[in-house]
Amino acid sequence: MYSDSIKNGANNAPHRALFHALGLTNEEISRPMVGIVSSYNEIVPGHMNIDKIVDAVKLGVAMAGGTPVVFPAIAVCDGIAMGHRGMKYSLVTRDLIADSTEAMALAHGFDALVMVPNCDKNVPGLLMAAARLNIPTIFVSGGPMLAGRVDGKKTSFSSISEAVGQFAAGTINAEKLEEFEKKGCPTCGSCSGMYTANSMNCLTEVLGMALRGNGTIPAVYSQRIELAKHAGMKIMELLEKDIKPLDIMTEKAFMNALTVDMALGCSTNSMLHLPAIAHECGININLDIANDISSKTPNLCHLAPAGHTYIEELDEAGGVYAVMNELSKKNLLNLDCMTATGKTVGENISGCVNKDTDVIRPIENPYSQTGGIAVLRGNLAPDSCVVKRSAVCEEMLVHSGPARVFDCEEDAMAAITGGKIKEGDVVVIRYEGPKGGPGMREMLNPTSAIMGMGLGSKVALITDGRFSGATRGAAIGHVSPEAAVGGVIGVVEEGDTISINIPENTITLDVPQEEIDRRLAAFTPKTKELHGYLKRYAKMVTSGSTGAILKD
């Protein structure tokens, strides 16, 4: 065990003295040291219950003969950060989390780790750290929120965001808006739809780094505490068998993750996070791979915001393993991959039946024959852009209209809520990319306003920023290259025609190439005065098309 190098022998008496200062007994010091990375805080609803999850993990580790030691990881609530400068600090925390976890784990000589994340950047950041450290590691999340209820119908965070647009359009009054506000998020946990946090927690199961139910057992269920105890016990087995993250997160495992991503209809943010996690594993995932997988993977789930079912219903239907079992019927998964259960994918999903074919469509009767995410290319986005096609209405899969151009989210939001966006328009929001933002802000407020004002089947939105998993509609993000590095999106002019064809995976600025070249030759991207971490981040971050990883 690595911790022996800081615990055993006369020379390590000073180390042992500090362990005794923590109140550890000789018996505890002699056992394997298991670090429990807790992202508990009192500002993120998805993290307020993690103290209880951590206590259960500690008990599981101790029952199995290890010594649990807790240290923290930060987490930003994307919902609270939304719509102001705080959103610049969301994506950038992914690397802070990975870096700080690496530092804590190696500085203190842990033998194994249990990661306890929940919301958006916390999960991929800790997966990146797990790959980097490559010591036995398992994940157990805080779990999803239960859906709310308004007028007898289930609701979620996206319902509240769209209610703001409905209020602006005059279709609901202030009392109804307040009802959404009070009832839409009824419990702790990650927001109840297939948004980014739940997407990544489900995909952590698929990658093999978590036990069954990690992505779907609701935060308030006692079963979540049982899961945490089992994760604590299981890490001791992984340590004994020396099963490490790089044994689990192989290229085949990432192909599985992309496949299930398409079947579930996950957040477009997965197209940032999976490449970044793979990069830490020494694996290259380009977005052409995503389209290849999408072309042969049926979309089996329409969870909110794409439909009217929620994570709690996915759990009741059999969870992620039931989706994987459906996919295995057409040989779409690599079943021989090792997982944190100590068994292969095939062994894990054997017998995991689909208990509700309204929530998980049978593979013979999917929502569509192609996956939930599409990667588009064209002269407007030569390096790619991304759309959650499963959340786009039929009328907007192919669209052409005049560009309405804005250089920041706030200006676009004012135009949308001010009634200045008309049917057929293509809203373009630029200088919100990884460098230009910096931090690649999510655009949930503008997309929700468009939906709430009844324009979801008539207006598209394109940005070099990104979207919340709660976004639905013809919302196309991650346009690369971004405006700040001289991308074509930076020279789009008001009234230019933009054509979108999601089935054909194309996006086109309908301007002669000679004119585009002329504009680019005269183009100087706008710059912003930056300070602190954002200044360093903007210098180091790469394109959205490469997962917004930092330069080596």
Helix (H, G, I), strand (E, B) or coil at 506: strand
CB 284 within 8 A of CB 276: no
Q: Is 199 a catalytic residue?
A: no
Tokens describing residue 116:
């306890």
Cα-based distances in Å from 537 to 104, 169, 313, 416, 431: 21, 38, 39, 30, 15
Tokens describing residue 136:
């036995």
Helices (H), ranges, 388-494 = 409-417, 444-452
Task: Examine residue 45 and say whether the peptide bond preceding it is cis (omega within 30 degrees of 0).
Answer: no
Residue 356: CB atoms within 10 Å? 14
Beta bridge partners of 316: none
Nearest to 441 by CA among 97, 183, 62, 82: 82
Helix (H, G, I), strand (E, B) or coil at 264: helix
Region of residue 486 (left: phi > 0; alpha: psi -120 to 50; beta: else): left
Give the C-alpha separation, 268 to 280, whole Å: 20
CB 164 within 8 A of CB 448: yes
- H/E segment holding residue 61: helix 50-63
* Backbone φ, ψ for residue 151 (5° rounding): 55, 35
CA pseudo-torsion sign 401, 406, 408, 409: negative
Cα-based distances in Å from 351 to 210, 298, 329: 19, 21, 12
DSSP summary character for residue 376: E
Please pick, among 390, 468, 480, 543, the residue that the annotation labels catalytic.
468
Please list, in sequence order, all residues whose beta carbon lies within 8 angstroms of the beta carbon of residue 275, skipping any fewer than 6 positions away: 284, 285, 286, 287, 546, 547, 549
Nearest to 491 by CA among 509, 465, 474, 471: 509
What is the set of active-site residues? 468
